[in-house]
Chain A
Amino acid sequence: MTERRSSLAALRKIVGSDNTRDDGETLGLYAVEGLRPWAVVFPESSEEISDVIRLAARENLSVVPWGSGSKISKGNVPGRLDLVLCTERLNKILDMDMGNLTLTAQAGVRFDAIQAALAGEENRCDLPYTNQVTSSDVAVCSDRANMGCFVPLMPPHTRTATLGGIIAANASGPTRLLHGLLRDLVLGVRYVASNGEIVGMGGKTVKNVSGYDVCKLMVGSHGSLGILCEMTLRILPLPERLATGLFSFQTLDGASRFVARIFDSRLLPAAVELMDGRAWGFLGLEGGKSPGRGGYGVAVAMEGVDEAVGRMNSEIKEWALEAGALETRAFQEEADRCFWEAYCNQASRLSDEYPNMVSVKLNYPVSVYAEIVEFAEASAPMDLTLFCHAGSGISRIHCLVAGEGADLVDRTVSFLRGLLDRCAAHGGNMVIERAPIPLKKRLPVWGKPGGDLVVMKRIKEQMDPLGILSPGRFVGGL
């Protein structure tokens, strides 16, 4: 205990007394999978984080980084836990370079705050040369240059998630179909390594092959290799037009035919999402015909120039009707934004209603999705909601577990193991994103590790030899 007291004093010296908390209430709020830290620190700069980690390395204290906690239920129960390092005070947007289309922000900035700031940013017109031909009173950029920008990502928990957490967890959403993943968007990162050194990689250029592509390693490393402090992302100008079509089908077969038709075409939708009737029911849509139990919904997001969105809207609607859609709906503007916000924040809403909810993410080659969906629906021992990024081979299932009986736990475990086997048979996998702790302890949280685990282990051992960064939480118990 005296050691702890002296460590606490050292932490207070680094981040200040107000920003070092060891009261019971705070410790309870920042428990990681039921494990309470003995201190929570709130640093406000990379330098302070560096000092905290140096101290942790010296005293062999384990540290779990925390943004808003929206995804803290992902990962194994930590092997040990001394400190939680909360990034909420690293909440500054450092640079919005509209001419370059890059954004640099600290780890603790909330995602929706970034989108709001970018949307309101007005001038992209950055003409660096002294103009030799045009006289100065001629406008050299058009009005479109004042339309604002956005980060082309629709991660879950948009209302709470922080940029650092999103990148650490490699969160993605429906528009990955058109815009790719964080690995495609992150241009630079600054983080504190396990020895306390501040490391910076990449920057504001969209192309960079100088040295190893460490940004790729840090994206999705779940706090196991370093504490993310700042990051630079690609941004895009807001598209001329956004629209969404929502279609309901009586059967998976009808919905699948519709989805296949879209992917066989030359259209370029931003997202094609398939959901079961129960998932549809939780979107809080007013009016209209729900596909109901056994039915499926498909949501198609479209963005781009006016003409292209117009054509997609009409062709996709036609194809939906040909595939037997019960109903078609269209959202524009504000309604469009609200629909996707509800869609992306569905997990938060469900977990309020079902505290014992089990959430899993399945990945598989996209061509086998119908098989996976059918299997999941047919073998589930409880109600579930299912969403698919239909063009990417990713499904999210929320098992709406009501009750806590041992029998139910057994059946849930065997259902999930069956799902994992099914995905693994096709070269895919399954990750438990949220589950009650007793259940989690009986499940392979990160699915079936592959032969590459040997390299991951060596990287972890090399980069965090003391095992102080989120120990035990990641794949293979890293």
Chain B
Amino acid sequence: MRKLDREAVLTRLEEIVGGEYVLCSAMDLHLYGYDASLARGKPDVVVLPDSVEEVSKVLAFAYREKIPIIARGSGTNLSGGTVPIKGGILIHFSRMNRILEIDIPNRTATVEPGVITLDLQDRLLRQGFIYAPDPASQKVSTLGGNFGENAGGPHCLKYGVTTNHVLGAEVVLSDGTVIWTGGKAQDHPGYDLTGLLVGSEGTLGVVTKMILRIMRAPEAIKTMLAIYDTIEDAGNTVSAIIAEGIVPATLEMMDKVVMGAVEESVHAGYPTDAAAVLIIELDGMKDGMDRQADKIMEICNRHGVREIRVAKDDAERARLWAGRKGAFGAVSRLRPNYMVCDGTVPRTKLPEVLTRVIETGAKYGLVIGNVFHAGDGNLHPLILFDEKNEDERRRVLKATSEILKICAEAGGTISGEHGIGIEKLEEMSLIFSESDLDFMRGIKHAFDPLNILNPGKVLPETQPLNP
């Protein structure tokens, strides 16, 4: 904030959104300075707009004054994407949390960005419909945040990630102009701007409404827990199921470290002495599902499974999932902090990469727990540590970088669903050449020529702010 003094900025923002919706106490600024990563920052001011008109006015003002804009939801994102590292105006969407329409004939839901993911899902389920992406943080995360990060989740193996379920969006551009991309009619002529905006971490535009694709809830669901004495057998089972031609709704793996923590906190009924478990879920039409489940059990047996449990009812199924979804939270019982790597590799490279991840942990003397989307090759090694221990923290950062490098070398990528934010900026060069990055910088420039939207994120060395 150079040109205008702080008071003038606050006054203008109060005019736009109303005095009580401009937050600027030291406490407020501290609270909006972090997300679920280790990064920390501080906004200059927080605004809570209630409409697209207000958002548009805030952006038009910021554009004129070259003030950074950071849009965020619940801040469950894991890579520093919503941390205001360059100060600026932070827009929090807690008031724009309306489900505007559920259009069953067109199979769409239109929502504001502040809607909690699970709230929409609960409401849809009552009408027999689902919104498929189910990030583990769905109880807290917002749909706007899911859009910004292109959130994934266990069910993405079959249904794809957030971007595959967004049909259109109302977007405020960096100068305050409001546009619509996509819509209820599919195949909108022109560039797929919706596809480009999803996962852009708030660096290309600020989304104020979203049209999401909804689907009929599956007729039948079958959830199994397969328990293994070696992680290798669990890994081979994953490959063999895919080879069988079965595409389960989920294929999740969890190792001993994580299960131990989960059992202490959630009591999901996982065996704490096993080396690994797989959560395998089938969904779809009921016909043939039993045969497919039998086939999966046969495959598990061929690969030395110790025990297979099939959830008998919704309550049992919910319990199995509570453990998986509570895994990140549960590991904080073991150590105060965890760093989660989100590297993704071609599925067949998982074993090689897992082995190297474990070696990396040993090399740096760190405990690593594994809980991940095995079916789509998306690892989530959780490195446990205490951020107050400077030395340990340094080793964690080194190990993280090394793990991402291992993933890149295996033909994978450095983030499958958590985003780049600021945490992985340096590692972008592991997978992108300068020409690749330049192309992306061009896109950034086309949307945000002044670099005021969430500056310093996603792309390394974008042009400096306020040059």
* Chain A residues near B (Cβ < 8 Å): 97, 99-102, 124-134, 138, 140-142, 144-145, 147, 170, 172, 180-181, 183-184, 193, 197-217, 219-221, 225, 236-240, 266-268, 304-308, 310-312, 361, 363-367, 392-394, 423, 426-429, 431, 446-447, 449-456, 458-459, 461-463, 474-476
**Do A450 and B416 touch across chains, with their CB atoms under 8 A apart?**
no
CB nearest neighbor in A for B292: A305
A305 to B246, CA, bound (A): 9
Instruction: Write out the residue numbers on chain B whose beta carbons fall within 8 Å of the beta carbon of A220.
Output: 191-192
Question: Lowest 6 CB-CB distances: which A-B pairs, in order?
Answer: A216-B195, A133-B304, A307-B288, A237-B245, A305-B288, A307-B287
With contact pairs A144-B244, A145-B244 given, residues A209 and B418 touching in the complex (Cβ less than 8 Å): yes
A212-B444, A366-B105 given; 11 more Cβ-contact pairs under 8 Å: A128-B351, A130-B232, A131-B232, A140-B302, A172-B187, A183-B163, A197-B438, A205-B378, A205-B416, A214-B439, A305-B292
Interface size on B, residues (CB 8 A): 105
CB nearest neighbor in A for B298: A142
**Do B440 and A206 touch across chains, with their CB atoms under 8 A apart?**
no
**Do B240 and A141 touch across chains, with their CB atoms under 8 A apart?**
yes
**Do A205 and B344 touch across chains, with their CB atoms under 8 A apart?**
yes
**Do B185 and A423 touch across chains, with their CB atoms under 8 A apart?**
yes
Asked if B401 is an interface residue, CB under 8 A from chain A, the answer is no
Asked if B247 is an interface residue, CB under 8 A from chain A, the answer is yes
Interchain residue pairs with CB less than 8 A apart (7): A131-B233, A133-B233, A210-B424, A429-B185, A450-B180, A450-B190, A452-B181
**Do B192 and A183 touch across chains, with their CB atoms under 8 A apart?**
yes
Instruction: Write out the residue numbers on chain B whose beta carbons fall within 8 Å of the beta carbon of A199.
Output: 433, 435-436, 439
A427 to B183, CA, bound (A): 7
Instruction: Write out the residue numbers on chain B whose beta carbons fall within 8 Å of the beta carbon of A127.
Output: 236, 239-240
**Do A129 and B446 touch across chains, with their CB atoms under 8 A apart?**
no
Q: Which of A267, A427, A459 contacts B443 (CB 8 A)?
A: A459
* Shortest Cβ distance from residue B425 to the other chain A in the assembled complex, whole angstroms: 10
Q: Which of B232, B299, B447 contacts A132 (CB 8 A)?
A: B232
A323 to B48, CA, bound (A): 53
* Shortest Cβ distance from residue B25 to the other chain A in the assembled complex, whole angstroms: 34
Asked if B291 is an interface residue, CB under 8 A from chain A, the answer is yes
Asked if B222 is an interface residue, CB under 8 A from chain A, the answer is no
Instruction: Write out the residue numbers on chain B whose beta carbons fall within 8 Å of the beta carbon of A211.
Output: 420, 428, 432, 436-437, 440, 458-459
Instruction: Write out the residue numbers on chain A whose beta carbons fall within 8 Å of the beta carbon of B183.
Output: 427
Asked if B216 is an interface residue, CB under 8 A from chain A, the answer is yes
**Do B232 and A310 touch across chains, with their CB atoms under 8 A apart?**
no
A4 to B376, CA, bound (A): 51
**Do B236 and A311 touch across chains, with their CB atoms under 8 A apart?**
no
A172 to B173, CA, bound (A): 30
**Do B150 and A205 touch across chains, with their CB atoms under 8 A apart?**
no
Instruction: Write out the residue numbers on chain A whose beta carbons fall within 8 Å of the beta carbon of B414.
Output: 210
Instruction: Write out the residue numbers on chain B whose beta carbons fall within 8 Å of the beta carbon of A209.
Output: 149-150, 161, 199, 415-420
Asked if B152 is an interface residue, CB under 8 A from chain A, the answer is yes
Asked if B106 is an interface residue, CB under 8 A from chain A, the answer is yes
A305 to B433, CA, bound (A): 43
With contact pairs A125-B240, A131-B233, A365-B185 given, residues A452 and B193 touching in the complex (Cβ less than 8 Å): yes
Q: Which of B106, B445, B447 contacts A366 (CB 8 A)?
A: B106
**Do B243 and A99 touch across chains, with their CB atoms under 8 A apart?**
yes
Asked if B196 is an interface residue, CB under 8 A from chain A, the answer is yes
* Shortest Cβ distance from residue B160 to the other chain A in the assembled complex, whole angstroms: 6
**Do B196 and A140 touch across chains, with their CB atoms under 8 A apart?**
no
Asked if B336 is an interface residue, CB under 8 A from chain A, the answer is no
Asked if B346 is an interface residue, CB under 8 A from chain A, the answer is yes
A379 to B207, CA, bound (A): 40
* Shortest Cβ distance from residue A97 to the other chain B in the assembled complex, whole angstroms: 7
Instruction: Write out the residue numbers on chain A whose beta carbons fall within 8 Å of the beta carbon of B444.
Output: 212
**Do A475 and B189 touch across chains, with their CB atoms under 8 A apart?**
yes
Instruction: Write out the residue numbers on chain A whose beta carbons fall within 8 Å of the beta carbon of B189.
Output: 429, 431, 446-447, 449, 475
A214 to B285, CA, bound (A): 35
**Do A141 and B235 touch across chains, with their CB atoms under 8 A apart?**
no
Q: Mark B62-94, 1 if CB is under 8 A from A, else 0.
A: 000000000000000000000000000000000
**Do A184 and B190 touch across chains, with their CB atoms under 8 A apart?**
no
**Do A426 and B413 touch across chains, with their CB atoms under 8 A apart?**
no
**Do A205 and B240 touch across chains, with their CB atoms under 8 A apart?**
no
A236 to B329, CA, bound (A): 35
Asked if B97 is an interface residue, CB under 8 A from chain A, the answer is no
With contact pairs A128-B239, A304-B285, A305-B292 given, residues A207 and B149 touching in the complex (Cβ less than 8 Å): no
Instruction: Write out the residue numbers on chain A whose beta carbons fall within 8 Å of the beta carbon of B23.
Output: none
* Shortest Cβ distance from residue B110 to the other chain A in the assembled complex, whole angstroms: 12
A211 to B105, CA, bound (A): 35
* Shortest Cβ distance from residue B26 to the other chain A in the assembled complex, whole angstroms: 34
Instruction: Write out the residue numbers on chain B whose beta carbons fall within 8 Å of the beta carbon of A193.
Output: 435, 439
Instruction: Write out the residue numbers on chain B whose beta carbons fall within 8 Å of the beta carbon of A363.
Output: 185-188
A308 to B285, CA, bound (A): 7
Q: Which of B346, B350, B458 contacts A97 (CB 8 A)?
A: B346
Instruction: Write out the residue numbers on chain A whose beta carbons fall within 8 Å of the beta carbon of B249.
Output: none
Asked if B395 is an interface residue, CB under 8 A from chain A, the answer is no
Instruction: Write out the residue numbers on chain B whose beta carbons fall within 8 Å of the beta carbon of A240.
Output: 245
